[in-house]
Each structure stands twice: as C-alpha cells, then as structure tokens.
Structure 1
Amino acid sequence: MRRFALVPLVGIIGVVAMLVVPVSPNLLDFLLIINLSIALTVLLVAMVTAETLEFSVFPSLLLVTTIFRLALNVTSTRLILTSGYAGHVIETFGNFVILGNPVVGIIVFLILIIVQFIVITRGAERVAEVAARFTLDAMPGKQISIDADMNAGLITDVEARQRRKKIEQEADFYGAMDGASKFVKGDAIASMIIVAVNIVGGFIIGMAQQGLDFNTSLTTYTTLSVGDGLVSQIPALLLSTATGLIVTRSASGSNLGVDILNQLFSYPKMLYIVATIILVLGIFTPIQIFVTGPVAILLFLGGRRIASLKKKEEENSMKSAEAEKLKTTKSPESMYHLMQVEPIEFEFGYGIVPLADASQGGDLLERVALIRRQLALDLGIVIPMIRFRDNIQLSANEYIIAIKGNEVARYELMPGHYLAMNPGFADPAIVGIPTKEPAFSLPAEWISESMRDLALVKGYTVVDAPSLIATHLTEVLRRHAFELLGRQETKALIDVVKERQPVLVEELIPSSLTVGEVQKVLAGLLMERVSIRDLTTVLETLSDFAPITKDTDTLIEYVRQRLSRQITAQIRSGTDPITAITFSQGTERRIQDHMTATDHGIQLALDPRIAQQLIKGVADHVSRLASLGKSSVLLVSPTLRTHIRRILARNMPDLSVLSYAELDPEAPIESGGVVNI
C-alpha cells in the first residue's frame, strides 16, 4: 500500500486545480462517477466496521470528500452557465431520473435536502457532540483504571501503553467527528444555494445572452441545475448516512449487518404478529390483498425459519450441556481445574504413594511443609502450595517435579534401598548399585537395608527415600524460586513491608517503579540465590537509585552491593576464608574491550572462541579446588559481573559470581587461582 501513498495527495491537488482550471464535460462525467463510488465505498465500510477506531480516518476523509464534491459543483456550474451542457451524467439525472420535469426534480431535490439536513445531519451532529463530551469526561477515570491494573500486576507496561493510546485515539476521533459533522451540515446548505444560483443565473444568461425564450431558458437551466443538485446530493446523502452510522456505532465486536440480524430477528413471535397485522390490513382495508399477502407470507415463513433455527440451537446447547455434565459427573475432578497450570507439581508412581499417605505412615507431606517454611526463611518468599498427584504413566518408583506445567526434574527410587554417598573421606570398599544423587548429581550407590549400618560406620552419608525426595525438592525449588515469584506474590510481599513502613513503599511505588519492575529485580536476585528476606533494604535501595536508572540489571547490582554482608555470609563456610578465583588484569581488560553500549544498555559481544577459553579456564580452577574439598567463587569487577555470570550460567549454574563491591570488607579471602586468557 505504500506505493499508493501519494495517490491521495495527488487527488487533493487535482481537487484544488478543479476550482480554477476548466474541465471538459467527459472528464466531469468520470469525476462524478468517482464521487458516487467513493460515497458508496465509505458507506459500506462504515456498515461492516466492528469498532469506530477501525475507520479512524473517517473525519479527514469526510473533509476531503466534501471539498471534492464542492469542487465538482463549481465545475458543473461553470459548464452549465457557459455552455448550457455539463455532460451525460447530469443530463441523465435531469431527464431520466426526474423524467424531464423540472418541478418534479425540484421537489425530489428538496426532499433529499430535508432528509439530509434536518434528519440525518442534525442527529449525527448531536450524537457526535455528546460522544465527544462523554469520551473526554471518561478519559481520567479510564487512565486511573489502567494505572491501577498495571500497579496490581494485572497488565504489563506494554499493555498499559496500548490501552492509553487507544483511549487517546478514541478522544481524538470523537473530537474530530464533532467538527466533521459540521462539514456535512454546511455541504447541505451550500448545495441549496448552488442550485438556486444555477437556476437564476442560467435563466438570466439564457434570456439575455443566448436569446432563448422564457420557457426554453427556464426548462433547460432548471433541468440541468436540478440534475446537478441530485448527482451531488445522492453521494452527500450516502456520506451523511455513513456519518450517522459511525457515531452511533457501539463496540460490539461485529459489523452492523450481523448485529441487525442477531437483534432484530431474534424474536420469531414478533414476526408472526407483524405478519398477522399486515394480512388484516389487506382484508379489512381498501389495500388489496395481493399486495399485503406476499409480505405477510414472507414474514410468517421468516419467523418459522428463525424459530426452527433457535429450537435446533437450544437442543444442541442442551445436548452439549448434558454431555458436559455427564462427563463432569463421571470424572473425580473438575475438568476446569485440570486445565489450570499449577505453580509446582509433584507427580509420582504408585510405589511412592505410601511415602505421601499419612495413613500408611508416610511423612512426605509433613516434610514438604517444613521445606516451605525453611525456604521462606532462607529465600524470603512464600513457596506456593505443592500439588501432589499420582501418575499411572510413570513407573512404580519414579517421580517428576514440574514448575508451571513443565517438567524440571525426574528421578527413580529403588524400593527397599538407601542412597549412600561418599563425602570424600569414607572407605570406598562398599558394594552397591551405582547411581547419581538427584539434587547435585553427585556419585552415589544404592545399598540394601542390611548394609546401612556398615556404610555409616565407614563414613558414608546414608539417606532414606523420603529424605532423598525432600532434599531433591528443596534444591529444585531453590533453583527455580525466581519463576515462582510473580507480580501478585510481589505485591503480597510489598504489602507486608507497607504495614510497617508505609512511607518507603509509597515513595517507591508507583511514582518511581511499578510492581512489575520491582518483581524483575527480586527475580534477578533469586535467580542467583540471593535471599530477599531483607526486603526493606532492597526497597530502600531501589528507592534511592530508581530515579537515576530503570535498567533492571543496574538496579540488581546496586541491591547486591547493599546486601554485601548477607551475600558474603551465604558463600562463606564458618570462619574459613573465601576461596576466590579472579581474572588477570589483561583478561579483564580484554573482556572490557568487547563491551558496547546499545539501546538496551551495555552489552558484552564476546568472541565465541574467547568465551570458550574463559569458560574452560574458570572450570579448570573450580574442578581443581573441588578435588581439594574447597568451594570457590569467581571474583570480578562490578562492570563485568552480570555479563560474566550470563556466560557461565549454562555450564556452571551453581558457581557464585561476585564483584569486589559485594564482599564484606571484614571477610578473609584467599586466592584460588587466576584465569588468564
């Protein structure tokens, strides 16, 4: 469509040229048909438009078509007064439509003017005025409602902007329609004046300049003037009707034709009554029966057809309702609830049922309650209720953990066995079935109950099935805690802080940040297993720096620096020093050279070969330290921390990446190696 973008511009220039440049009768015929075609197109589009904003260009289009029609009137007047001939179209309307009778033409023209000016135009003008006023009055309330929904996390900021834009477009549209309706009113008045000028002026010119007699001059110029008036007023009437349809259109989601059929013909009994009245008029009045009879028959048949269709729809609806009710009755669970996505699901085979059934001595549910309590203390969020569900598609002793309907972990127990793990100093001379511990993928072995005491004596860590499941579930929830913190959960946490410190929350939300933006910061902290239990400090930090930047990564870094003591305590084991892997100065400088500023903030565009060297260098040091029984962290400069974390997250998700600004100055640090690439 962009290739034709200049067509309206060229058309408007042509309309202006028509006001001063003479036009031939043949070209005028073509332009008059174009005018009629445009009016018909606008009317049909107005009928099929479901919402007014789908035809938001209508006010401007109405102005252009009005100017075009007035330019045609000027051109036709010039031809009528100068040559007494204005083309075949005007002549046809003057002779064929009104049968060459000027009096009939004048009467028809006046009727069209009355219908357009008094009925349609005045009504559309009033409706447009009221709609514009009500739309403007409702704008503040609608915008407040949008802000409330966004602050509550019900909609995103993108959706809020779209809704605000739609409200502004509606206000602009109805305001423009209030003025555009005046165009139609003025056009009707101008048409009456133009026809009168053509008749009087043509009559004088015919008598004084062309030597025509009184009757010939009056008949000729009256016929042409009325024909000109009709050929311009019919498109004007169509556009007036389109104006009325647009401003009276309600947002029903369907076009006018569908609404009329659904609403006007939805009561077949009314059609029977109307058919009876029409038939009675033909029988008991001079109106002949062969005129009213066919109409009554059509109304009766239409009502019968509609009644039949409604009956079938009701029967189908009842059958569907009965089938759904029967299906729901047979099902032990509501189909509606089956469709809902649970935040956390624990599905298991029938062999694990005794572990979850309290009547059979299982304590898994009690353990889960303790897990939720412990995670609330450790992470600072309330873990949603966990949905336990047996799954016949799983093997007897298999279970899966799903987050928001997606499987994130799976493991299979060995019935009657314990899981034994060597902490590194135990005697390895124990025979079992090799396996992997599910939470941390550590090497382990399944041992029978008879070997349990021996394994404990040799120094192995031995866990039973419920403890294994609880540990696995705890680790999965820690790893995916950021996915479980939505806007609604964030709002609940903020409300708790607001009860104690209302000034802090009111200063931050919504003036500086929205609930959604706060949620992104909290989720970013949880993604790296930083507890948000000290939510007051987090919100105070956001309140300090949100006026400076809205970038989520930058805000997360500021919060982490404020939580340096907490982060240091999380990674430090007792009084032992922190074993830190660092980058050489050349390595950091080389990485910083690949950082570029974009519209989305600072980005690290690292060459894949360098990234692989970086990952390998860090992984080698981590493996070496792990073999010595030491846990390590990666210590980098603050500007690199976020980017390095993203590079290493896939290969080493459990490695803590810290910046120098996040470490407690009082914490002892020992070097665990230097990465040099």
Structure 2
Amino acid sequence: MKLKDFAVLAAVIMIVVMMVIPLPTMLLDFLLIINLSLSLTILLVAMNTKEPLEFSIFPSLLLLTTLFRLALNVSTTRSILSSADGGKVIEAFGSFVVGGNYVVGFVVFLILIIIQFVVITKGSERVAEVAARFTLDAMPGKQMSIDADLNTGMISDQEARERRRNVEREADFYGAMDGASKFVKGDAIAGIIIFIINVLGGFVIGTTIHDMGFAESASTFTLLSVGDGLVSQIPALLISTATGIVVTRAASDGNLGEDITSQIFSYPKLLYIVAGTIGLLGLFTPIGIFTSWPLAAIIAFGGYQMQRAQQKNQEEAVVETEGEETEGLSRTENVMSLLQVDPIEFEFGYGLIPLADAKQGGDLLDRVVMIRRQFALEMGFLVPVIRIRDNIQLKPNEYVIKLKGNQVAKGEILLDHYLAMSHGMDDEEIVGIETIEPAFGMPALWVNEEMKERAELYGYTVVDPPSAVATHLTEVIKKYAHEVLSRQLTKQLIDHLKETHPALVDELIPSMLSVGDVQRVLQNLLREKISIRDLITIFETLADYASYTKNIQVLTEYVRQALSRQITQQYAKPGEPIQVLTAGSSLEKRITDGLQQTEQGQYLTLDPESVHRIHEALSEQFQRSLQLGAQPILLTTPAIRMHIRQLVERIMPDVPVLSYNELEPDVEVQNIGVVNL
C-alpha cells in the first residue's frame, strides 16, 4: 500500500476515533482550521473545473468531509459542555465575529442556517436530482449518437470507446451526487439540532454543575454554542456552495471565472445603460450623486475598455484566420489528405435525405451499424466505416454505392411507396410503378399504402424503402468483400487471434507466410462467399500445409476442405438433399488436358473454341436447373475445382462450385444434371 493510500485510511479511522475519545482544545483548534481550509480548497477546485467529471471524486469527498465535520461537532460539544471551553478558534468566532453579544450571534447563526438550508442546500439537492434523472434518460440517445458518428467516420473506435466511457461515468457521477446531496441536507439539520442541544444543555450544566448564575450560564454557553455553530457552519456553507457549483456546471472550455467574465461581460454596451441608471438614481433619489456617480463612472469606463478589447480581439481573429487559411492551403499534409479514398461510400440525392436524418425519422445510420455487426457475425470481419453523404449531382431519389471511389451499384427508391415483389405469379389487381429490385435484380412494383395491404394478401413480398436500401447495401458488401479486406484489416484479424492463440500465429507468421499471403487466402474465400470467422481452423490448416507449398490457390483449396462442415451447412437445407450438377468426365478430361505446370503452379490454357463450348454447356445446365426451381451448384473433383470456378465465374459468378471433399459424408446429394462437352 502506498503512503498516500495509508494516510487516507488513517484519516478516516481518526475521524471515527474523534467521536469517542475526548480531544484537547489545542488539537481541536488545529482540526477546526484544517476543516475550514479543506472546505475552502474544495470550493476553489469546484469553481475551476471545466466539466463535472474532472471532479468525479466529489460525492465520496462530500461524505468524508461531512463525517469529519460531524466528528468535530461531537468533540467540540463534549469540550463545551464538560469544561465550558471550546478552544481559541470557537472563542474567536463567538466573541470577535459576533462582537461578544450572544443575541447578535444567535441572529447571525440563524441567518446563516437559513441561507444554507433553505437556499443553497435545498437548491443543490433539487438540481442534483433533476440532473441525475435527465442524464439517465439521455443515455440511449447519447449512445445512438456515438454509434452514428462512428458509423459515418466522424470519430474513431478509440474515440467512441472513450465517449461511451464518459457517458457511463457521467451517469454514475450524477447518480452519486443525487445521493450525496442528502448528506449536505442532513448536515444542515444536524447543525441546527446540535446548536440547540449546546445552548439548552450548556445552560442546564452551567447552572447545576459549574455553579454559574443564570445570566452567566446563558451568556457563556450561548456564545460558545454560537461560535461552535459558526465555525462548523461556515465550512458547511462552503461545501454546500461547491456542491451547487458542481451540479449546475455545464461542459465548457473554461472554468467558472472565465465563463462568468466572458459571458456576463460579453455585451459591454449594456454597461452604459447600467451606468446611466445608477447616475439617475443618484440624481433623483436621496442616495446622492457623491455615492452613485463615481460608481457609474467606473462602470461606464469598464464598458468602454471592454468594447475596445472586443474590437481588438475581433481584428486579431480575422487576421489569424486569414493567415491560417493561407497557410493551410500551402501545407503539403492538407493537400495529401485530399488523396485519401474511403473504402465504402453511400451517396444519395437530396430527396432521400429523410432516410439519414434522425430528426425526420430516418434510421439509415442505425441500419448501417446493424449491417456491420451482422457482417462481422456472418462473414468474420468488421467492415470499414461506411461514409454516408448527400450528393446534389444525383437525381433526387437516386443513390449510388462506391467502392474505393468507384461506383459499383446504384438504385432509385420512392420514400412514399413500398417495394412489392411477386413469387412468379403476378396479379393484375396489384397496380404500381414498375421497377427492378436493386439487390437481386428481380421485377418489382412501387405500390402505395393502400395497395400494400392488397399485395401482402396476394402473397407479394413487401418491404419499405429503408429495408430495400439496407438489403442492397448488404448484398453489395458481400459481393465485394474480398476487395474490402485490406492488409490492414487482415493485420487486425491476426492481432485479435494472437490474443487467444499466440502459438498458432507465431508459428505461421512470418516464418511460413506473410500477412499479404494470408490476406490473399482470405480474399479467395470471401470471393466465393465463404465465411472467414473460423480463423483458428483456417490458420491451423495453413500452418499444416504452408511448409509443403506456397501456392495461394492450393492453400485455399486445403482451407476449403478443412471448412467442409461449414460449407455443407451453408448450402444444405434441413431435411432436404443438396441438389447439384456434376462435371462430366469429358469436361473434366478437357480441363485436365489443358493444365500446364510451371514454377508458380498449375495454369489452365484452353483455346477460345474450347472455352466457348464449355461456357455453352455450363449455361445450358444452369438454365435447366433454374427452370426446375433449384439453385445451381456445380460439383467436381478437388484437383480441378479452382480451374472450373474460373470458367464459371465469367458467366454466372453467383453459382457455387464445390468439390467432393468439401461436403460432409453424411449429407445426401441429389444429382440433377451432368455437364458434358
């Protein structure tokens, strides 16, 4: 335990001891001065904080100072009643401050109690209660605002975590202040009760035990009680004032003194009106000009000086701003910032602004946050921040999706309509604006509110515009996920895996494969919509086979076979067989004959006529499969799977190409066609 920690614990223990063990008056004087100094320090610190969280220890400190003050009250009460002596500090407050008149002292003490209990303590308690309630009610909105800023790229992940932590700390602080303010109220009540006990008890003890007369006993113990009350209530008043300052402070760039001088005196011309009013009071009332006019002159002169200072500051600010703009344009780093390209951008016309404007009920930002979370769960990596902005060059209802600054998709939606898609059988009673569903390219209709209910009754799939946009954005990200996965994102995935499996990562990187090699393997998986969430299996497979080959395509095939259970579940429906097309012997032989072995690995070399014939055969079987209502899946041998995939990708990139080793043995496979040349 550090020395300062031990000192705090010892101080708390001594506070408790003070309530039990009598203390000499000299020590009491010293402790009373400490109490006054500590209260003044807390008040000054509260005035100089810019935000309440800078003084987050205040609720606990408030409890300790209240306990210390009550312990002093117990000790001074014991000393006053037992020996009719409270020490020099209490005597000074009782005689010097109130002039030795116990009636005046009683009135002054009563006024002090009224100020503290009725005004400051009561107000601080109410403000703390309201602030705690409003802070808790505002937490969900603040969290959504942080998520929105993070999603739009205005803040980084580290800044978002820091802001969330500040929101939680702010709620805890105001909740603690709500409870701590009750200590201040209780302390004020206890001060009144202790004062009454000291006066009445001292009067009885003075006349019965100390053999004092009625007047002497009343004067002595009243002055001592008043002195004790003042010496304890003045620090209590300082603490109560500090409590009020802390709970009423709003976040700003300056402390209380700076804010007061900058805000109250920000209108110097108004001081001329104040000076004129004071001057008129001295001229037309018995106050007199000798009292009012000097003050009016000082106020008017102060307003003149502040007005000149404001004009000077404005001129300097203009010159400084112009200089910064000129310097900013010439800085190389500002020009370099223009070269940065966002990984993913979503731009929309001005007619779609309500989609992203939360004040108009738009929830696009929240949907984008959910898309990123869903993609992390399904595909295994966090999509970079999606930049969302309006573009006046687009049509009002048009939006485009860009990847690294290049447009990859676009769409057009009607905010006051719904997108209705049939399941193959259109109904003439469903009337709307013909369009193409942006995500999957299906024929659809934009229908109004009335037609929406009828379309749902006839079995149409009806979605609202935000859902259509979110679905389109999700599908685009899935389609181009392999391009989104950069080396930096790959490094983040590796670092995350290293936290739990350091031996696996250290074995593979960099001795066997580089970060770029791992990135290319992961990109190959994502290109065929294979999730990379199971990084442990992927890295273990790479570690097993990287010592035999550095060919990225071959390593990808090994990884796919290791993920056979995941791939099988991806394409198998519960209780139904997997319907597949198989590559015939003639197709496999033609591809095998076209393989050439080089130092970099195998490459497929086919003449244009053979490629055309293969494409025709594949297209014919794929179309036949679609007519049967089955999703085409091509099954082939492991040795040529990646080469057939290259051919299929050119005509139907969404058709999965699997090898026999990528399907679990217990899954039922139904062959619905054979692709032969």
**TM-score, L = length of structure 1:** 0.56
* Mapped contact 1:641–1:657 kept (Cα < 8 A): no
Partner of 1:148: 148
The residue that corresponds to 1:513 in the other structure is 376
CA deviation string 1:442-466 (max 9, x = no partner): xxxxxxxxxxxxxxxxxxxxxxxxx
Matched letter for residue 343 of structure 2: G
Aligned in 2, Cα 1:16/1:659: closer, same or farther, shift over 3 Å?
A: same
* Equivalent of 1:658 in 532, 555, 568: 555
Amino acid at match of 1:658: L
1:59-458 matched pairs, under 5 angstroms: 59-319=59-319, 339-341=334-336, 344=339, 404=340
Deviation at 1:507, TM superposition (A): 8.0
Q: Distance in 1 between matches of 2:498 and 2:332?
A: 47
Give structure 1 stretches of 5+ with no counterpart.
345-403, 405-483, 492-503, 543-550, 558-595, 619-636
1:290 positional shift: 3.9
Report the CA distance between 1:144 and its aligned residue: 2.1
Q: 1:98 to 1:324 in 2, by over 3 A?
A: closer
1:282–1:291 contact (8 Å) kept in structure 2: yes
Residues 642 and 296 (structure 1), Cα distance of their counterparts in 2 relative to 1, 3 Å cut: farther
Mapped pair 1:27 → 2:27? yes
* 2: CA distance, partners of 1:516 / 1:486: 18
Q: CA RMSD in A?
A: 4.7
Q: Is the 8 A contact 1:486 1:519 kept in 2?
A: no
SS in 1 for 2:155: coil
Contact 2:375–2:381 under 8 Å retained in 1: no
SS in 2 for 1:513: helix
- Alignment match, 1:463: none
Give, in angstroms, the shift of residue 99 of structure 1.
Answer: 1.2
Residue 323 of structure 1 deviates from its aligned partner by 7.2
Q: Distance in 2 between matches of 1:274 and 1:12?
A: 51
In structure 1, the partner of 2:343 is 486
Q: In the TM superposition, what is the alpha-carbon distance from 1:88 to its structure 2 partner?
A: 0.8
Q: Which residue of 2 aligns with 1:348?
A: none
Paired residue type of 1:49: T
Report the AA paired with residue 383 of structure 2: Q
Q: Determine the C-alpha separation between the residues in 2 that align with 1:490 and 1:602.
A: 44
Cα distance, 1:156 vs structure 2? 3.6
CA distance 1:599–1:91, change in 2 (3 Å) = farther
Quote how far apart the aligned CAs of 1:597 are.
6.2
Runs of 5+ in structure 2 lacking a partner? Answer: 349-366, 387-402, 410-439, 441-473, 482-487, 518-536, 562-582, 602-677
Provide the secondary structure at the position in 2 that maps to 1:16: helix
Letter in 2 for 1:518: L
Alpha carbons of structure 1 residues 230 and 187: separation in structure 2 relative to 1, 3 Å: same
User: Are 2:504 and 2:540, in contact at CA under 8 Å, matched by a contact in 1?
Assistant: no
TM-score (normalizing by structure 2)? 0.56
Q: Which residue of 2 aligns with 1:624?
A: none
- CA displacement at 1:602 relative to structure 2: 4.7
Q: 1:151 touches 1:510 (CA, 8 Å); kept in 2?
A: no
1:237–1:642 Cα change, 3 Å: farther
2:539 to 603, 616, 639: 639
Q: Is the contact between residue 490 and residue 519 of structure 1 (CA under 8 Å) also seen in structure 2? A: no
Which residue does the alignment assign to 1:391? Answer: none
Contact 2:43/2:242 (<8 A) preserved: yes
Question: For each residue in 1:45-77, what CA deviation from the matched residue of structure 2 results, as whole angstroms up to 9, or x when unmatched?
Answer: 111100011111111111111111111101100
C-alpha distance in 2 between matches for 1:56 and 1:552 = 37
Tell me the amino acid that sits aligned with residue 558 of structure 2: A
Judging changes above 3 Å, is the alpha-carbon distance between structure 1 residues 119 and 507 closer, same or farther for their aligned structure 2 residues? Answer: closer
Cα separation, 1, equivalents of 2:186 and 2:113: 12
* Structure 1 residue aligned with 2:452: none
Equivalent residue letter for 2:300:
F
**Identity across matched positions, percent:** 48
Matched residues in 1 for 2:33 and 2:249: separation?
Answer: 28
Aligned-partner SS, 2:383: helix
Q: Is the contact between residue 121 and residue 240 of structure 1 (CA under 8 Å) also seen in structure 2? A: yes
157 and 217 in structure 1: CA distance in 2 versus 1, 3 angstrom threshold: same
SS in 2 for 1:250: coil
Within 2, Cα distance between the matches of 1:307 and 1:645? 79
2:144 and 2:213 mapped to 1: Cα distance?
Answer: 74
Query: Which whole-Å CA distance do the structure 2 matches of 1:539 and 1:607 have between them?
Result: 28
- Please state how far the C-alpha of 1:138 moved relative to its aligned partner: 1.0
Q: Deviations over 1:389-410 (max 9, x none)?
A: xxxxxxxxxxxxxxx4xxxxxx
Look up the match of 1:449.
none
Q: Label 1:167 to 1:673 Cα distance change in 2 as closer, same or farther (>3 A).
A: closer
Is the CA contact (8 Å cut-off) linking 1:35 and 1:69 kept in structure 2? yes
Checking the alignment, whether the CA contact within 8 Å between 1:487 and 1:516 is kept in structure 2 is no
* 1:555–1:81 CA distance, 2 compared to 1 (3 A): closer
Report the 3-state secondary structure (helix = DSSP H, G, I; strand = E; otherwise coil) of the residue aligned with 2:373: coil
1:339-383 deviations in whole A, cap 9, x for unaligned?
353564xxxxxxxxxxxxxxxxxxxxxxxxxxxxxxxxxxxxxxx
Q: Deviations over 1:111-135 (max 9, x none)?
A: 1111111111111111111111111
AA in 1 matched with 2:35: N
Q: Which AA in structure 2 matches 1:486?
A: P
Structure 1 stretch 84-93 or stretch 507-516: which is displaced more?
Answer: 507-516
1:262 deviation in Å?
0.5
Deviation, structure 1 residue 662 = 4.9
Shift of 1:312: 1.5
CA distance 1:517–1:91, shift in 2 (3 Å): farther
How many residues end up aligned between the 2 structures? Answer: 442
For the 8 Å contact 2:150–2:160, the answer to whether it is kept is: yes
Give the corresponding residue for 2:50.
50
| Residue identity in the other structure for 2:252 | S
Q: In the alignment, which residue of structure 1 is the partner of 2:471?
A: none
SS in 2 for 1:111: helix
SS in structure 2 of the partner of residue 210 of structure 1? coil
Go from structure 1 to structure 2 and tell me whether the alpha carbon gap of 1:657 and 1:281 turns closer, same or farther (over 3 Å shift). farther
Q: Write the distance in 2 (CA, Å) between the matches of 1:323 and 1:147.
A: 36
